[in-house]
Structure 1
Amino acid sequence: MLNRFIATTICLALTAMLFGCDNAKKLDVSYKWPIIDGFPKPQVPTNNPMSHEKVALGKQLFFDKNLSANKQQSCESCHLQQYSFSEPLSVSVGSTGVLHRRNAPALVNIAYNKTLTWAHYGITSLERQILLPMFDESPIELGITGHEAEVLARFKTQEYLQAFNLAFPRQPVSFELIVKALASYVRSLISLNSPFDKYAYLSDDDAISAAAIRGMNLFFSERLECHHCHGGFNFTQSTGHEQQLIDRRPFHNTGLYYVEINKGEFGYPSKDIGLADISTLAKDNGRFRAPTLRNIRHSAPYMHDGSVATLAEVIDIYAAGGRNIKGGQYKGDGRANPMKSQFVKGFELTPQEKQDLLAFLDTLTDETFLTSPEHGMNKKE
């Protein structure tokens, strides 16, 4: 009982303490969120309230390759359900074959994220974020820019017109409505049915093993510091919901790189310097958003560039206080990066403790989320 109480308290500490805010955006009360009793609801823009009709339309659009100019990709091409709506590639590949510089983030509980890309503090709504893969030209993802009329015409079939009319009565099909429907579907991707949830929030003492409980205690300890960047019920600091008072948009340099950029000048590789790309501030070099750890076992590879293959390797990097790359293009000792987060200070683990920590991370897997036709497309669809 004590362990479960500690876990529940710590997970909700950063969020429950913020309850009571009366500035939360109003929600459509007709939409039933699949969340645990007592949990706050996600924030939803007032001009795009949730509805089951919008979610159904958004789901149809999410899996439709007609949304890319050349009909080669859908949103699902880079966000596959069995991988927690991420993909098993180091970096994404656009519809025209262009390699991107970043790993496709998992879309689990994305409705609770305060920021919605790896390193941009200004993109805080799904409606804005979704515009990037649709219309961005560098790099190209769906590649709609320059093909707007052609792509939009594909969604004026009888089937789609009926779906649009149910979701947005008496409104003509437009990219604005497509974006709103996609945002509604992605917001509906809620995962709160893991063994950890059953243990911590539903009082099921047998939901997780003794090894996982030991790993949980390590995770929430000051010795390892994991919960400082992966805290709250969504296991990430970047969290927002209807009752949150403080606008929290944290980004972290985890000592993954420390390469020589110019003679005597060191930092993250110039191909991706993280938040500094947007802020232009030197202090933001190498800072990225900490992703949720929910379903983390199924969203490999890891880090913003997919450069870490396994969770065991991730733990080793943090235990060392950063990554020391001894040769090659990115040679350098990330442990010495002066911009590194104060929480990435290194620690020692016995082999058993490492296995216990991995066992705990496995309890964050929600099998229903990864397999349910409610979220994905079954064979008949």
Structure 2
Amino acid sequence: MKRAVLFLALAAAALFTVAATTPKGLESGAFDWRLPAGVAPPPVPADNPMSAAKVELGRRLFYEADLSIDGTMSCATCHEQKRGFTDSNRTRPGVHGDPGRRNIMTLAGVGYFRTLTWADRRETGLERQVRVPLFGQTPVEMGMAGQEAELARRLSQDACYRQMFRDAFPEADGRIDVETVSKALAAFQRTLLAFDTPYDRGVMSAQARAGERLFRSRRLGCAGCHAGPHFTDAATSDDAYHRLPGAASADRGLAESTGRDADTGRFRTPGLRNVAASAPYLHDGSAATLPDAIARHYAPGDRAAPSPADTARLGAFLEALTDEGFLRDPRHALPRTACGRPL
């Protein structure tokens, strides 16, 4: 009971910070988020209010392969629900075989994050970020650059899609274009919330509780970056980018977008909810296991590095951040019907 009360207190404090720094005009509205008591919903842009119709459209689009140039890749190709909406590969090739540059990040709680992607402060909103995999060219992912009209044409051929867009965007007369596609996908992603874990329920094992104490200890310093109820400072800070002493890489990281040498090797803190289901780890997917990922947070020979026994305790705590229901929730899964008919 004390554990659950502590979580709610931490959640309320952290989410109050988010709300307090949310720009004027961002509101969550009257949408039924189905969140635990005391947990505030993510901020929502005033020009993209939540609705059940919009979320359902976004869910179908999330699994729609026609959003890629050759019809072979959807958002869900890289963001698998059973893996916490991540991918089991170190990096994922695009439709033309271009090698992926970075590991797939989890979407759990993504609506709370102030910055998105591994290393670009400019990606601050889901509506805009959606366009990176769709139209980006470094690397090419879904390959739709210059094909905005084709995207609209494909979806418009489906009578059910036409109806779903009318229901989701009555103010736009059901217009089907990049803007409404992006808004629907963003709305769906904001519903990817995972707050029903052993940690949240206060039912962790003794080993996991010991792991939490280590996680929050000053010696290890994990909670300094993996902070708050989402276990990432990306939910509370615009500068949630850090360099790991034990993870060398040729990737310039944040410096690539800022042009500052001081940002070389800095990457955004990933959230840890469902982390046990989302291997491999780090920006390049080079850590195959949680113990490996933990070790990379420390320089070789660092006396602060956890012992094997402590690493096992930390691993137990991270396992307790898994929301098993979230990984199977039919509301987030591939839809089987649309407009009352089987797909």
Residues 103 and 304 of structure 1 are in contact (CA less than 8 Å); yes or no, is this contact kept in structure 2? yes
Q: Give, in angstroms, the shift of residue 101 of structure 1.
A: 1.1
Q: Aligned partners of 2:235 and 2:263: how far apart in 1? A: 20
- Matching residue within 215, 228, 235 for 2:231: 235
Aligned residue identity for 2:232: T
Answering whether residue 243 of structure 2 is matched by residue 253 of structure 1, we say: yes
- For 2:11 and 2:165, how far apart are their aligned partners in 1? 39
- Residue 223 of structure 2 aligns with an amino acid whose one-letter code is H
Give the partner amino acid of 2:200. D
Matches within 5 A, 1:191-202: 191-199=194-202
Cα distance in 1 between the residues matched to 2:238 and 2:22: 17
Distance 1:293 1:42 in 2: 17
The corresponding residue for 1:219 is: 215
Partner of 2:92: 92
Aligned residue type for 2:280: P
Structure 1: gaps spanning 5 or more residues: 200-206, 241-246, 259-267, 325-334, 336-344
Counterpart in 1 of 2:261? Answer: 282
Deviation at 1:27, TM superposition (A): 2.6
Equivalent position SS for 1:196: helix
Q: C-alpha separation between the residues in 1 aligned to 2:22 and 2:238? A: 17
Give yes or no for contact 1:24–1:43 (8 Å, CA) kept in 2: no
Contact 1:11/1:231 (8 A) holds in 2: no
Instruction: Describe the SS at the equivalent of 1:185.
Output: helix
CA separation of 1:286 and 1:23: change in aligned 2, threshold 3 A: closer
Look up the equivalent residue of 2:314 and give its one-letter code. Answer: L
Whichever residue aligns with residue 181 of structure 2, its letter is I
- State the Cα deviation string for residues 16-52 of structure 1 (Å, max 9, x = none): 5676568554435331113221222211111111111
Residues 222-248 of structure 1: CA deviation (Å, up to 9, x unaligned): 1110000101000000005xxxxxx53
Partner secondary structure for residue 370 of structure 1: coil
Within the alignment, does 1:364 sit opposite 2:321 as a pair? yes
1:180 partnered with 2:183? yes
Question: Relative to structure 1, is the Cα distance of residues 5 and 159 closer, same or farther in structure 2, using a 3 angstrom cutoff?
Answer: closer
Deviation at 1:366, TM superposition (A): 0.2
Match of 2:268, SS state, is coil
Q: CA RMSD in A?
A: 2.2
Confirm or deny that 1:298 pairs with 2:277. Answer: yes
Name the TM-score, length of structure 1 as normaliser: 0.82
Match of 2:339 in 1: none
Partner residue in 1 for 2:35? 35
Matching of residues 260-279 of structure 1 within 5 Å: 268-269=249-250, 272-279=251-258
Q: Residue 143 of structure 1: CA displacement?
A: 0.9
Determine if the alignment matches structure 1 residue 352 to structure 2 residue 309. Answer: yes
User: What is the aligned partner in structure 2 of residue 338 from structure 1?
Assistant: none
Distance 1:22 1:72, change over 3 A: closer
Q: In the superposition, relative to structure 1, how do residues 8 and 173 fare at CA in structure 2: closer, same or farther (>3 Å)?
A: closer
The answer to whether the Cα contact below 8 Å between 2:61 and 2:185 also exists between their aligned partners in 1 is yes
Q: Which amino acid aligns with 2:175?
A: P
Aligned counterpart, 1:339:
none
Deviation at 1:188, TM superposition (A): 1.0
Across the two proteins, how many residue pairs are aligned to each other?
335
Aligned positions of 1:111-130 closer than 5 A: 111-130=111-130
Aligned partners of 1:10 and 1:220 also within 8 Å: no
Q: Which amino acid aligns with 1:97?
A: G
Cα 1:129–1:232 change in 2 (3 A) is same
Q: Which residue of 2 aligns with 1:63?
A: 63
Deviations 1:317-366 (A, max 9, x none): 33xx23x6xxxxxxxxxx8xxxxxxxxx6524343322221111111000
Query: What's the CA shift for 1:179?
Result: 0.6
SS in 2 for 1:154: helix
For the pair shown, the structure with the greater C-alpha radius of gyration is 1
Shift of 1:95: 1.3
1: CA distance, partners of 2:273 / 2:325 = 13
Alpha-carbon spacing, 1:113–1:346, altered in 2? closer, same or farther (3 Å): farther
1:139–1:214 distance in 2 versus 1, CA, 3 Å: same
- Relative to structure 1, is the Cα distance of residues 368 and 4 closer, same or farther in structure 2, using a 3 angstrom cutoff? closer
The normalised TM-score by structure 2 is 0.91
Letter in 1 for 2:138: S
Q: Within 1, Cα distance between the matches of 2:8 and 2:310?
A: 21
Report the alpha carbon displacement of residue 139 of structure 1 after superposing the two structures with TM: 1.2
Unaligned runs of 5+ in 2: 337-341
Residue matched to 2:159: 158
Aligned 8 A contact 2:149 2:177 in 1: no
Distance 1:193 1:346, change over 3 A: farther
Distance in 1 (alpha carbons) for counterparts of 2:310 and 2:3: 17
